Amino acid sequence: MASKTAGSKPPNNLTPRQDGIPKVNKVTSDDIAASLRAGFSDFLARPFMSGFFGLFYAVFGLLFVWALVWLGKIWMIIPAVVAFPLVAPFAAAGLYEMSRRLQAGESFGWSEILTVVADQRNREMGWMAFVTLFIFWVWIYQVRLLLAIILQDASFSDFKGFLNVVFYTPEGWTFLAIGICLGAILSAALFSVTVVAMPMLLDRETNFVSAMITSVRVVMENPVVMLTWAAIISVTMLLSLVPVFLGLIVTLPVLGHATWHLYQRAVSPVEG
């Protein structure tokens, strides 16, 4: 069924036209449920293509953790895994485009979707990637700072030793408490500026600042509902990491498709 709110195919121009400030809507828990159902339906419509993006993300995560072990950066594994879901919205660009085309009733193959994903480097989403990675870097840096201040005398040569220090010492508990609070603040900030900004940049001709402002407006207009959505994403993604990241093959695509549908419910379509 074609969607009346689906956007047009993004052009490849380097300087998109800026549209007016869009209207944000009230959303409810029913919208979240409907978006999840639509996301699962999109996944079932093209399971192999959707799963490809989840597999790519999972393999990248495994290689990232392996690189940390190989480099001897054991302390980075937990904060990196915790922050890993934060960069998922940028990885879901192909999923947004798939949902857009499915709603519009457009036929598509691998070349059409991958071309749109590649074209994002010439559009405003590249700036959103910079914002995402910057906050990710701030998160890793503040964890390193807390380690130096709180666990300065601790020594951990392997991952098991790191876990013992963090979970079974008073200093480790202090480190966890402060780290969780700071991480929650950074996560809330990143979620607020990206939750609808990513699909909006793929769907419309606007700049990344306007997209971030719209995203924040959606969160401020619907704080409880969007906090619930953030919790669903965080818990689902973290649980998906447990079976060697393999759960992401399904959960990332479903959540990515669902995010597209929630964005369309939260932000009114362009008039005219």
Give me the residue spans of the domains in the chain: 29-266
Of 223, 228, 211, whose CA–CA distance to 263 is shortest? 211
Can you give the pTM of this predicted structure? Answer: 0.81
Whether the Cβ atoms of residue 248 and residue 237 lie closer than 8 Å to each other = yes
**Separation between Cα atoms, residue 95 and residue 114, nearest integer Å:** 10
Q: How many CB atoms lie within 10 A of CB 33?
A: 11
Write out the chain's pLDDT in tens, 272 residues: 444 444 444 444 433 444 567 899 999 999 999 999 999 999 999 999 999 999 988 888 888 888 887 877 777 777 777 766 666 666 788 999 999 999 999 989 999 898 888 887 777 777 887 888 788 888 888 888 888 888 776 666 667 777 788 888 888 889 888 888 888 888 888 889 989 998 998 888 888 899 999 999 999 999 999 999 999 988 898 888 887 788 989 999 999 999 999 999 999 886 64
The pLDDT, as a whole number, for residue 45 is 95
Q: Could you tell me how many residues make up the chain?
A: 272
Burial class for 13, CB neighbours closer than 10 Å (0-12, 13-18, 19+) = exposed
What's the pLDDT at 67?
84
If you ran DSSP here, which 8-state letter would residue 22 be given?
A: P
What values do phi and psi take at 70, rounded to 5?
Answer: -65, -35
Q: What's the pLDDT at 89?
A: 66
d(CA 221, CA 196): 13
For helices 248-266 and 47-70, give the axis angle rounded to 10 degrees.
Answer: 120
Q: Residue 269: what are its φ and ψ, rounded to 5°? A: -65, 160
Tell me how far apart the 2 most distant CA atoms of the chain are, in Å: 64
Task: For residue 248, give both structure tokens.
Answer: 């992401």
What is the C-alpha separation between 8 and 25, in angstroms, rounded?
Answer: 21
pLDDT at 86: 65
In the three-class reduction of DSSP (H, G, I as helix; E, B as strand; rest coil), residue 262 is classed as: helix
